[in-house]
Structure formats: C-alpha cells, structure tokens
C-alpha cells in the first residue's frame, strides 16, 4: 500500500554539515561526491548507524557532472550505511535538500519507510566544463562510424573554435538574466533601499559570529579538508564597510557582494525518522516536520524571480490553520537581503495580499528579533543544494533548546520556485 493504516509524525533527529567554504578556496579540490560522502559518514558516526539499513537517502546537487548521475547512491556506498540502503538524486535548485526532507517525510508519515537522510551538496569550485555542441556532434559522428574512414572523416572538420570551453552560466534560460540581476529588478519594484539590505547583512554576520562564540555550531559541523568553521563570516564588517562596496549587478543598483550570498562549497544532511524508530534506538527528537509547501511564479511576465515563497507560505499557513505571527523562529534563506525584504514587504502589503494572494487582509509583519537567529546565508554561505538541510538542523536545535515552539522555513530557488516548511516541538 502507498499509505499505511495511520499517518505518523515525522521526527527530526539531527543534522550535520561541512563548514561552508567560499568557492575556489578550502574545498577547491573536493568533488560533490567527496563532500556528500563525508557528510553522510559524519551522520552515520554521530548516530551509530554503521551497517544500518535506512529506508531511503535523498540528496542532490545543482552543479553536477554527468558522471555523477547516481551521486547519492554512490555516496551512500561510501558512508558506512549498509549497502542495502537505497539512495536517489533530486534537484530543486536552492530548495533541494528541504524538498528531499519533505519527500522523505511523506514516506515516513505514510508508513513506507521508518528512517531516511535528506541531504544536499554543491561545489562552485568543481563545476562541469563542457565543449561546444559542434565538437560533441563531431565526436559522436566519429563514434558512429562503421569503418575507419567513416570514423576519420568528421575529424577533417575540426577547428580551433571547438576547443573553447563552455562554462555553466548561472542565468535563467527564459530571461537570460542572472539571479542577481533579477533580484535587482525586484528591489526596484518593491523600493528596497541599499541601507536596509546592508543592515540585514550586518545582522546576519553578527548573529553567526555570536552563534560560534556560544558554541551553537559545535555539534552541527565536522571538520573537513582542514576547515573547522564557515570561512565567510565577517566579524569585522560594519555598515561603513558594506556601504563602500560597489553594486554587483547594475551600475546604479543596490545589490553588492556584501548583501548577497557568495559562491560557496559544502554539504549538509539531516536524519529523519518515525518516533518509534528513534525511540527504539534511544535517539533524541529535536522537532517534528509538520507541513511543507512548494510554489512557482511566472517570473517571465508577471512576478519577481525569487517571490515564490511569498505565495507558498500563505498556502501552507492555510493548511496549518495558523497566522504568520504564530512562530517562535523564522528561517528565511538569504539568497540576497533584497529578496528577504521584498518577501517581508509583500506579506505586509494589503494590495499584494488582496490582488495576488486573494486574501481579505495582509498577512502582516514578523518580529525581526526572531529572524535567522544564528545567522543567514549571506554570512554562513550558500552551497545551493545544501542550504535546506543546514536550516533544518539549525531550526531543529533551536526548538529543542527552547523546549517547545514552532519555526518557519522559507527558501527561494532558481526557476521562480519556492520551498517552505514548518517545524514544531
């Protein structure tokens, strides 16, 4: 049966990750499989899972070589889990590992599996580099040749231009715009000033630094390739320093390297299970994954590229029967501080909530004192597919420390999509 006799609660046992590293730095020689395997192994060691058969492992990467077509399964085989543990690849851009958690959570809730790991990994240092399509076609024509002459003939068309590599472009195929250029348009549409973005970025760095000082991340990270902590956190930054940075995506723009996420390498994973599975092994439960929602927007003609969470969250709140203010923690992914501020402004806008969301009144504002308490992606970094798992582990620990409560997760993604979830304890 696809669904068992009862719906079960989905427990978040805990998570772990590599420190996040700025691209072309500490992990320049590490592959996606290296980082994902190490992260799964760290989870196995942390929760004594060596030789265990888990129900499933879901993970993915946004920037992935074609040779990594079975990335998750290969990483499972090197993790210490029993070889009988299956694994699948999934990619929903920056929402990848949150989406894998939601899918595994549905399997656990439905009684299909008892346990699983949701993970994500990305390297901007080891990106796939390919050659022009014309060169690939030449190679394939040669490979299809039946005789030596047929195999040789295509090579007479070889030209120097065939050796010019094609690097992956971080742009939207539908618009030709980068994510930063798209968010710059959003900032203009929503009238988000530069200073507000820089203030949020400064708060992100200060909160992350404070979290390190209090030891919050000690059990959430493991040393990898000699790195013991995220190397993007700027303890010495200030509004004055941030204000001196030049715009990154438009000469007259407001988005800079200081209020945008850096290109980052890293991996993160989270262990989920049924309550029965956790208790049988004496494992603590940090929180429960109770709701999840995805949405997409028409960013080509109608809406800002990164505005989908503004739609997904109210639909999820309706499912849960609660309001935007009914949370103790808010974890909103900081792709760009402008994106966070656009989303918050949309939820507080009577016009947006009426005309776009079909609501009779605005969702309202959140308590900023509850936002990204241990730092956000601008400070910590953003290996695309790993961010969801990082946030899940952070929010789970926050709820466990508090003893009770509710937390909201909101992640925008490329392609005009958003992935959101609720954790409760």
Read off φ and ψ for residue 421, nearest 5 degrees.
-155, 165
Can you tell me which residue has the tokens 């894998």? 100
* Residue of 9, 379, 17, 8 whose CA lies nearest to 220: 17
Give me the residue label for tokens 């348009």: 185
Q: Which of 94, 183, 342, 353 is labelled catalytic?
A: 94
Return d(Cα 301, Cα 321) in angstroms, integer: 32
Q: Which of 1-5, 13-17, 177-181 bottoms out in mean pLDDT, i.e. has the lowest?
A: 1-5
The DSSP bridge partners found for residue 267 are: 121
Out of 74-88, 89-103, 128-142, 306-320, least confident range: 128-142
SS3 10: strand
Asked whether the predicted pLDDT for residue 241 surpasses 90, the reply is yes
Q: Each residue of 354-388: pLDDT tens digit? A: 999 999 999 999 999 999 999 999 999 999 999 99
Residue 115's CB is within 10 A of a number of other CB atoms, namely: 26
What per-residue confidence (pLDDT) applies to 4?
65
* pLDDT of 164 over the 70 cut: yes
How far is Cα 93 from Cα 78, in angstroms, rounded to an integer?
A: 25
Q: Which residues pair with 270 in a beta bridge?
A: 15, 118
Q: From CA 421, how far away is CA 240, in angstroms rounded?
A: 36
The yes-or-no verdict on residue 167 having pLDDT over 90 is no
CA 217, 223, 229, 231 torsion-angle sign: negative
pLDDT tier, 168 (very low <50, low <70, confident <90, very high otherwise): confident
pLDDT of residue 170: 78
> Who's near 226: CB < 8 A, 6+ residues apart?
26
- State phi, psi for 80 to the nearest 5 degrees: 100, -15
CA 294 from chain centre, in angstroms, equals: 14
- For residue 111, give the DSSP letter: T
HEC profile of 158-198: CCHHHHCCECCCCECCCCCCEHHHHHHHHHHHCCCCHHHHH
Determine if the pTM surpasses 0.75: yes
Pairwise CA distance, residues 304 & 61, whole Å: 24
Determine the distance from the C-alpha atom of residue 285 to the mean position of all C-alpha atoms in its chain, rounded to a whole number.
23
Beta strands in 71-150 (DSSP E): 87-89, 115-122
Q: Looking at residue 1, what is its pLDDT?
A: 54
Instruction: Please tell me the distance from the alpha carbon of residue 77 to that of residue 179, in angstroms, as a whole number.
Output: 35
The count of other CB atoms within 10 Å of the CB of residue 109 is 19
Task: Copy the structure tokens of residue 34.
Answer: 């290296």
CA 118 vs. chain centroid, Å, equals 11
User: Distance between CA 72 and CA 118 in Å, rounded?
Assistant: 10
Question: Looking at residues 72-99, what average pLDDT do you find?
Answer: 98
Question: Which pLDDT does position 78 carry in this prediction?
Answer: 98
Mean pLDDT of 236-244: 98
Is 353 known to be catalytic? no
Whole-number percent of the chain with pLDDT over 70: 99
| Cβ proximity of 366 and 324 under 8 Å | yes
Residue with the bigger pLDDT between 1 and 273: it is 273
Q: What is the pLDDT of residues 119-152, one digit of tens each?
A: 999 999 998 888 899 999 999 999 999 999 999 9
Residue 166 has a pLDDT of 85
What average pLDDT is seen over the chain? Answer: 97
Nearest 5°: CA angle at 283, between 73 and 377? 60
Residue 2 pLDDT exceeds 70 = no
Average pLDDT over residues 411-422: 98
- Chain mean position to CA 374: 16
Told to judge if 382 belongs to the known catalytic residues of this protein, a careful annotator would answer: yes
Alpha helix ranges (H) inside 237-349:
239-243, 275-280, 308-320, 337-348
Annotation says 94 is catalytic = yes
If residue 419 lies in a helix (H) or strand (E), which one and from where to where? strand 417-424
- Six-digit token string for 279: 């208790």
Does residue 192 carry a pLDDT above 90?
yes
Measured distance between the N- and C-terminal CA atoms of the chain, rounded to whole angstroms: 29
């Amino acid at each position: 049966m696809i669904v068992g006799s009862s719906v079960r609660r989905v427990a978040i046992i805990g998570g772990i990750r590599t420190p996040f590293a700025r691209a072309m730095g500490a992990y320049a020689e590490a592959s996606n499989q290296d980082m994902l395997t190490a992260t799964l192994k760290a989870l196995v060691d942390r929760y004594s899972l060596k030789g265990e058969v888990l129900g499933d492992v879901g993970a993915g990467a946004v920037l992935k070589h074609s040779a990594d077509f079975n990335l998750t399964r290969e990483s499972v085989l090197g993790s210490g889990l029993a070889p009988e543990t299956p694994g699948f690849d999934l990619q929903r851009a920056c929402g990848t590992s949150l989406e894998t958690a939601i899918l595994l959570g549905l399997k656990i809730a439905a009684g299909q599996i008892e346990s699983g790991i949701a993970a994500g990994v990305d390297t901007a240092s080891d990106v796939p580099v390919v050659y022009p399509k014309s060169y690939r076609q030449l190679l394939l024509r040669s490979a299809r040749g039946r005789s030596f002459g047929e195999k040789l003939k295509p090579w007479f068309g070889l030209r120097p231009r065939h050796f010019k590599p094609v690097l992956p472009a971080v742009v939207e195929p539908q618009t030709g715009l980068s994510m930063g250029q798209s968010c710059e348009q959003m900032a203009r549409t929503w009238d988000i000033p530069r200073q507000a973005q820089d203030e949020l970025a400064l708060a992100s760095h200060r909160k992350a630094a404070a979290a390190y000082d209090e030891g919050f991340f000690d059990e959430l990270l493991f040393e990898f390739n000699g790195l013991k902590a995220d190397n993007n956190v700027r303890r010495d930054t200030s509004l004055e320093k941030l204000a001196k940075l030049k715009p990154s995506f438009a000469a007259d723009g407001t988005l800079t390297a200081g209020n945008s996420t850096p290109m980052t390498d890293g991996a993160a994973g989270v262990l989920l299970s049924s309550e029965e599975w956790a208790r049988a092994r004496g494992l603590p439960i940090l929180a429960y994954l109770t709701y999840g929602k995805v949405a997409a927007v028409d960013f080509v003609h109608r809406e800002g590229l990164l505005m989908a969470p503004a739609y997904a969250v109210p639909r999820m709140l309706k499912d849960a029967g609660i309001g935007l203010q009914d949370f103790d923690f808010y974890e909103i992914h900081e792709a760009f501080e402008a994106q966070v501020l656009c989303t918050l402004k949309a939820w507080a806008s009577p016009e947006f909530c009426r005309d776009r969301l079909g609501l009779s009144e605005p969702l309202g504002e959140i308590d900023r004192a509850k936002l990204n308490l241990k730092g956000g992606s601008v400070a910590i970094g953003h290996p695309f597919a790993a961010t969801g798992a990082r946030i899940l582990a952070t929010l789970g620990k926050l709820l466990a420390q508090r003893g009770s409560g509710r937390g909201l997760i909101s992640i925008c993604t490329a392609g005009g999509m958003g992935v959101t979830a609720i954790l409760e304890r």
